[in-house]
């Protein structure tokens, strides 16, 4: 978060110093970073929703008409799908759309604080 905020400040400083090449390169860096972050968070959201829909689908099928071994396998899969699954960044932050929203809010806060520091 700090890295992307400082890149945004570099864009502002480059514009202020009339250095369009540096401003453009940092702008591209910021856009690529935000796109990469959005893709990771979207993939994490899709995975967690797929796991929950798999559990619902397994429950709604006629698993109780199967053989006892197949029923135990279904029960095992449903139990495993019941645990919350999510991708994490460093086993700290879950990669989903909520965390993407909070990261963007934090980036905006850091960026405005850094901009205020450089304006003074």
Cβ contact 52:81 at 8 Å: yes
Q: How far apart, in whole angstroms, are the C-alpha atoms of residue 7 and residue 73?
A: 51
- Whether 42 shows a pLDDT value over 90: the answer reads yes
- Whether 10 shows a pLDDT value over 90: the answer reads no
Cβ contact 47:94 at 8 Å: no
- How high is the mean pLDDT of the chain? 86
Q: How far apart, in whole angstroms, are the C-alpha atoms of residue 89 and residue 98?
A: 14
- Whether 66 shows a pLDDT value over 80: the answer reads yes
CA 47 to chain centre: 12
Please state the domain count of the chain. 1
pLDDT in the model for residue 112:
83
**Which two structure tokens, joined as six digits, stand for 43?**
């993939």
pLDDT in the model for residue 92:
86
Domain range for 114 is 2-119
pLDDT in the model for residue 36:
93
- Whether 37 shows a pLDDT value over 80: the answer reads yes
- Whether 30 shows a pLDDT value over 80: the answer reads yes
Q: How far apart, in whole angstroms, are the C-alpha atoms of residue 13 and residue 76?
A: 57
């Amino acid at each position: 978060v700090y890295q992307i905020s400082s890149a945004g400040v570099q864009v502002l400083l480059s514009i202020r110093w009339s250095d369009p090449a540096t401003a453009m390169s940092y702008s591209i860096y910021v856009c690529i970073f935000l796109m990469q972050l959005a893709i990771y968070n979207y993939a994490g959201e899709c995975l967690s929703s797929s796991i929950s829909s798999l559990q619902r689908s397994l429950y709604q099928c006629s698993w109780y008409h199967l053989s006892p071994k197949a029923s135990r396998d279904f029960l095992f899969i449903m139990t495993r799908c019941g645990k919350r699954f999510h991708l994490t960044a460093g086993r700290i932050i879950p990669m989903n759309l909520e965390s993407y929203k909070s990261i963007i809010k934090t980036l905006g806060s850091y960026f405005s604080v850094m901009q205020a520091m450089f304006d003074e």
